[in-house]
Amino acid sequence: MGGAPKFYGKVPVGTKGQIVIPAEARKSLGIKSGDQVIIISGPPHHQKMISLMMRN
């Protein structure tokens, strides 16, 4: 994956703190049920931005 970041949309945070990764993002990134992702924040990100990384 190169070039500019892709925007997949925005999602609500449920009452239990859960979010749903949009289907297009899951397909594009190869995320399947049972996969684990790492959620990170902080520099160079700003207050309300997170990144997802696949855990190998």
Q: For residue 38, give every residue at least 6 positions away whose Cβ sits within 8 Å of its Cβ, in sequence order, or none.
A: 52, 53, 54, 55
Q: Which residues pair with 38 in a beta bridge?
A: 53
pLDDT at position 47, please? 65
Query: How far apart, in Å, are the Cα atoms of 25 and each of 15, 22, 31, 32?
Result: 22, 5, 8, 11
Query: Whole-model pTM?
Result: 0.70
**What value does the mean pLDDT take over residues 27-41?**
87
- Is there a contact between 22 and 9 (Cβ–Cβ < 8 Å)? yes
Q: Where are the alpha helices (DSSP H) in the chain?
A: 23-29
1-56: CATH topology is: Pemi-like Protein 1; Chain: D (2.10.260)
Q: Would you say residue 13 has pLDDT above 70?
A: yes
